[in-house]
Amino acid sequence: MSSEFFRLVMHPFKFRFFLLSKLPSAYFSGVRVRYVDEKKAIVTIPYKWFSTNPFKSTYFACLSMAAEMSTGVLAMAHIYKRTPGVSMLVLKVQGNFFKKASGTTTFTCEDGELIKHTIEDALARGDGRTITAVAIGKNAADEVVATFEITWSFKGKSE
């Protein structure tokens, strides 16, 4: 199932249509999934008119969207077309900012295996489970711009 999901996410039009219809602020801000597999996701957010702030850098909320997407796309991969279904919810977002984001920021999350195990644990136990996934945002010079810790909750749906 994951390979089908990855093909959808990486399709040049289908995932952008998903963003436009379900997450229009991410679409218009320019959030894009550049790479995803079961373990890692790479998501970018450009510095442009729609994502800027008055200080000539990327608005923190746009950085947060890209960071959340890098963790969320991994979670979505592990629950895609799963029976029984699994609900997912962001419980907490914590961001730390280190440099001005004045170009494209690339967020990488490498917590896919931990997310998968948390989902499996939630289904096995029959209750909600949480995980805090880390997304690291870097600029073109490979300098850390921001880090985010996104806490997700997963719970199996009744059939």
Q: What predicted TM-score, i.e. pTM, was given to this entire model?
A: 0.92
Burial class (CB in 10 A: 0-12, 13-18, 19+), 133: buried
DSSP 118-137: HHHHHHHHTS-EEEEEEEEE
Neighbouring residues of 100: CB distance < 8 A, sequence distance ≥ 6 = 55, 57, 145
Q: What is the pLDDT along the chain (159 residues), one digit of tens a residue?
A: 478 888 877 887 888 888 888 889 998 999 999 999 999 999 999 999 889 999 999 999 999 999 999 999 999 999 888 888 899 999 999 999 999 999 999 999 999 999 999 999 999 998 999 999 999 999 999 999 999 999 999 998 876
Neighbouring residues of 1: CB distance < 8 A, sequence distance ≥ 6 = 80, 81, 82
